[in-house]
């Protein structure tokens, strides 16, 4: 079959079970597709077909993802393979170990397939901040795919990957999923191990799946979730059988609609599509209630204080001493530090390091960092109250607009930061959320809606999402490339 690349993991697994196809054929099909279209999209940094085919030969006898290629964001460590966070300062770095999610994928029979492009160290909302090249949106290559996991979203959307994994610190899975018309999920903080994820902001980062439909998202999350003693933030709670939660039934479920997420300035086509999704779920028996998350207006400010503070600390290790890039012929140790970091980090990384160092400095810690932590608790309390009030999930737009033009917001960092206004609160609270397609603009650009759940209640999100997906066909549409 020539079009294996266009199928979902669920469809491919069915063919593999029937022995209608071989894993090698899937790899060849996806690789050929990538060779054909990635010159337009630029979603991959590295793509090694021969290495993938070698891994196929060592697949376990059984596994939930046996033979399925999974693309991996370039900030997740794979032993012996280049892992650079799309930054010059890590060019040439090959980790001596695998991230826990990579071990879990391989134990399930998945084939790690290529490293996807990203904003440098996950700093961005457009995938324009890579030190390699910008990734482009498969639906319109004059537009951005979203960030920072834009490469992972784009390759799944363009059928250059069957599935992919990325990381989400303030919306970096959900926002590009929305703009590229695929499913993307940020699990509850602690549900998926962060061991082997090169840190941006340790209290916010979480690894999650990109897929073509909800069934595949449930499948992939079930593989990578679970307790890991190597990660001190991993939570030891049971992982449900997410596949059993995929019911086309929302009768009796209570869905909250927060007024703070339908604001002036939001694109009218986005709001209309999300309103139609709400109406559909109501027609299927869900109870729709108005709720309030009053501290949402402070989320962007809180996030860019806390995230940059943690980033400045985490990135202090990249100094040219032990690994990664080092400047040539330094005059002394201080010169090596300064020039290595000056030459190795891009503009956005420098901006966030400087801002984070400032808010942590003596005299400003209490005024900024400590106050931001207090407001973070209030944001989490808002979600607690909604869920304690009986809501099973919250429904919002994922992004206030569809994908914007390449370069449109590059000169205005604040405008770029506001792209994540609907996703940031979720990371600050630590709750799970997913984005899924819910329509298209008149110009043919995807629109995504976000479902937010209570702690470790990803199954509620899958149930609502599967019901919506079962009664629409947005997820079946593909870009013309």
Chain center to CA of 131: 19
Among 64, 62, 399, 110, residue whose Cα is nearest residue 215: 64
Which one from 125, 149, 152, 172 is the annotated catalytic residue? 172
Query: Residue 57 catalytic?
Result: no
Rounded to whole angstroms, the Cα distance separating 242 from 455 reads 15
Give the sign of the dihedral formed by CA 231, CA 233, CA 239, CA 245: negative
Catalytic residue, chosen from 125, 148, 312, 425, is: 148
- Residue 312 in tokens: 């400045």
Tell me which of 29, 42, 66, 73 is the catalytic residue: 73
Secondary structure element (H or E) that encloses residue 394, with its range? strand 393-397
148 catalytically annotated: yes
Active site residue 87: no
* 253, 254, 425 from 390: Cα distances, Å: 9, 7, 20
Q: Round to whole Å and give the CA distance between 337 and 234.
A: 34
How many Å apart are CA 89 and CA 355, to the nearest integer?
19
Closest CA to 465 of 183, 123, 177: 183
**Two structure tokens written together for 258:** 């927060």
99-112 CB burial, b ≥16 within 10 A, e <16:
bbbbbbbbebbbbb
86 vs 324: CA distance, rounded Å: 12
Pairwise CA distance, residues 194 & 254, whole Å: 32
Q: How far apart are CA 145 and CA 125, in angstroms?
A: 9
- Measured distance between the N- and C-terminal CA atoms of the chain, rounded to whole angstroms: 19
Can you list the alpha helix ranges (DSSP code H) found in 315-346? 333-344
If you ran DSSP here, which 8-state letter would residue 187 be given? P
Report the alpha-carbon distance of residue 267 to residue 422 in Å, rounded: 13
Q: How far is CA 43 from CA 115, 255, 481, in A?
A: 9, 35, 14
Is residue 401 a contact partner of residue 448, using CB atoms and an 8 Å limit?
Answer: no
Residues belonging to the active site: 73, 148, 172
């Amino acid at each position: 079959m020539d079009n294996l690349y266009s199928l979902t993991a669920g469809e491919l697994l069915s063919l593999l079970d029937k022995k209608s196809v071989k894993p090698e054929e899937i790899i060849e099909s996806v690789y050929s597709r990538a060779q054909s279209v990635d010159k337009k999209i630029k979603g991959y940094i590295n793509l090694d077909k021969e290495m993938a085919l070698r891994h196929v030969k060592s697949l376990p006898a059984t596994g939930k993802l046996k033979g399925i290629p999974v693309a991996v964001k370039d900030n997740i460590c794979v032993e012996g393979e280049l892992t650079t966070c799309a930054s010059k300062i890590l060019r040439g770095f090959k980790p001596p170990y695998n991230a826990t999610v990579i071990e879990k994928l391989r134990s399930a029979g998945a084939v790690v397939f290529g490293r996807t492009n990203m904003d440098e160290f996950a700093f961005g909302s457009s995938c324009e901040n890579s030190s390699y090249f910008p990734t482009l949106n498969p639906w319109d290559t004059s537009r951005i795919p979203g960030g920072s996991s834009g490469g992972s979203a784009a390759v799944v959307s363009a059928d250059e990957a069957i599935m992919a994994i990325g990381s989400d610190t303030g919306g970096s899975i959900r926002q590009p999923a929305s703009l590229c018309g695929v499913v993307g999920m940020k699990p509850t903080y602690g549900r998926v191990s962060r061991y082997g994820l090169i840190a941006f902001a340790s209290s916010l980062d979480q690894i999650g799946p990109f897929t073509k439909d909800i069934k595949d998202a449930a499948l992939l999350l079930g593989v990578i979730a679970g307790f890991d003693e190597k990660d001190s933030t991993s939570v030891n709670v049971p992982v449900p059988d997410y596949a059993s939660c995929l019911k086309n039934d929302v009768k009796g479920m209570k869905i909250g609609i927060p007024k703070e997420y339908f604001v002036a300035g939001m694109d009218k086509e986005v709001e209309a599509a999300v309103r139609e999704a709400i109406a559909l779920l109501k027609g299927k028996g869900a109870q729709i209630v108005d709720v309030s998350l009053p501290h949402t207006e402070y989320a962007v400010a809180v996030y860019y204080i806390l995230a940059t503070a943690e980033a400045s600390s985490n990135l202090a290790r990249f100094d040219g001493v032990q690994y990664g890039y080092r400047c040539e012929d330094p005059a002394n140790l201080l010169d090596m530090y300064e020039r290595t970091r000056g030459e190795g980090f891009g503009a956005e990384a420098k901006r966030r390091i400087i801002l984070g160092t400032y808010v942590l400095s003596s005299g400003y810690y209490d005024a900024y960092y400590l106050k931001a932590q207090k407001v973070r608790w209030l944001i989490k309390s808002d979600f607690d109250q909604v869920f304690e009030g009986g809501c099973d999930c919250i429904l919002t737009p994922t992004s206030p607009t569809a994908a914007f033009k390449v370069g449109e917001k590059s000169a205005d960092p604040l405008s770029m930061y506001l792209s994540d206004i609907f996703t940031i609160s979720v990371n600050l609270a630590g709750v799970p959320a997913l984005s899924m397609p819910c329509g298209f603009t008149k110009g043919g650009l995807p629109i995504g809606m976000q479902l937010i759940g209570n702690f470790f209640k990803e199954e509620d999100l899958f149930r609502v999402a599967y019901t919506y997906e079962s009664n629409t066909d947005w997820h079946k549409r593909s870009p013309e490339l």
